[in-house]
Chain A
Amino acid sequence: MASIMRPGLLRQACSPAASQRMLSTFAASSVKRSSPLAQQIRPAFERSSILKSTRVAAFHATRSQQILPAPPQRVVGTANDPTPVPPPSPSHGSYHWSFERAISAGLIPLCVAPFAAGSLNPVMDSILCALLVVHSHIGFEACIIDYFPKRRVPLLFNSANWALRIGTVLLGLSLYSFETNDVGITELVKRLWAA
């Protein structure tokens, strides 16, 4: 049973020089640096020569399935520092939440109307475009916050956020240009669908 739990122990016991090594307490030369005994004695960060699978097997019954590598992990401060709590602010909380929901709810009639009426008039189409820009921006922002945590990858977080902001402004400009010079989003989709 112990051999299943700790393969390193088994390997030590089975190797030919085991008895000699187990009996020698003081003679450092007889303990190979790669042996499990030496591995246990050495500092943890030096235990690199022992096989990774041997170390992991003691705790995990199944193969590890790593989807993505872990992002950099650093500890700021000590273990006794309290978690920083941001100052409560409704513009980052309840107002923001309600604003997001109002945008989403406003999109429902604007998405249903073209299916009923065939298309939208230019004013409604422009409102749809504006809501889509804001809704998309909020969605991408949520993805950046979730997948590029500021605490772990501050540089990536900031650059992604700025790229998104620039992209959103350019998209607004582009849709303004499309709405004023061309036929409008709903009419474009309608014509493309019929093409």
Chain B
Amino acid sequence: MASQRIFQLGLRRAAAAPGFTRFQPAGRMVQRRLAATHNVSSAEGQEILVKQRLQRPVSPHLTIYRPQITWYASSFNRITGILLSGGLYIFGLSYLAAPALGWHLETPSLVAAVASWPVAVKIAAKATAAFPFFFHSINGIRHLTWDLGIGFKNKTVIQTGWTAVGLTVALGAYYTFVG
């Protein structure tokens, strides 16, 4: 199809061109391509390739999946773990640096500082600590049972997942507002 058209166009162009009378040797194909090419060394080519790879679309993840207790609980397990351990690391490193920085992080000063907070701030602080702690602990037991090979049926996973959420809400709320 394309070659036919090019042939026709060539004929047409040849008929119309003023320089048609100029002799062209028979049987010799004169072909011109519109590709702009230039020499690239192997190293430069690699660089172009690396840059081009960065422009490839990133495969979609997380946002395209339906929120389900199976994978939501798993990601929250990691998020709460990072929160709790991060808190521990921050407290530990500050406690170590406290003498040098002149801070007072001994138990009596901490207790006195917290005692002076308004009730709303206390409740917020307790909730921030309690909910991640209970979720990570209860969900951790779920993960340990899976490590024993128990409770792998999809229905069981969903049931235990929502049970963990329910227990977290109950215990978290109790220790935030009552305990």
Contacts and interface: CB of A to CB of B under 8 A. Distances in A.
Interface of A: 23-26, 28, 31, 37-38, 41-46, 56, 60, 64-70, 72-75, 101, 104-105, 107-108, 111, 132, 135-136, 139-140, 143, 167, 170-171, 173-175, 177-178, 182-183, 187-188, 191-193, 195
Majority secondary structure of chain B interface residues (helix, strand, loop or mixed): helix
15 contacts: A25-B10, A26-B32, A65-B60, A69-B58, A70-B54, A73-B50, A73-B54, A104-B140, A139-B85, A140-B82, A170-B96, A171-B88, A187-B107, A193-B126, A195-B114
B92 A191 contact: no
B63 A108 contact: no
Contacts of A111: 137
Contacts of B93: 167, 170-171, 174
A139 B143 CA distance: 14
B169 interface: no
B13 A26 contact: yes
Contacts of B110: 188, 192
Interface string B16-48: 000000000000000011111100000000001
Q: Size range of the interface on B?
A: 35 or more
A174 B115 CA distance: 24
B58 A70 contact: yes
A52 B147 CA distance: 47
A132 B144 contact: no
B51 interface: yes
Contact of B96 (A24, A67, A177): A177
Contact of B34 (A31, A66, A104, A107): A31
Contacts of B9: 23-25
Nearest to A192: B114
A13 B176 CA distance: 68
B48 A171 contact: no
B27 to A, nearest CB: 19
B67 interface: no
B107 A105 contact: no
Given A101-B144, A136-B89, A195-B111, A174 B10 contact: no
Contacts of A188: 107, 110
Contacts of B60: 64-65
Interface in B109-145: 110-112, 114-115, 122, 126, 137, 140-141, 143-144
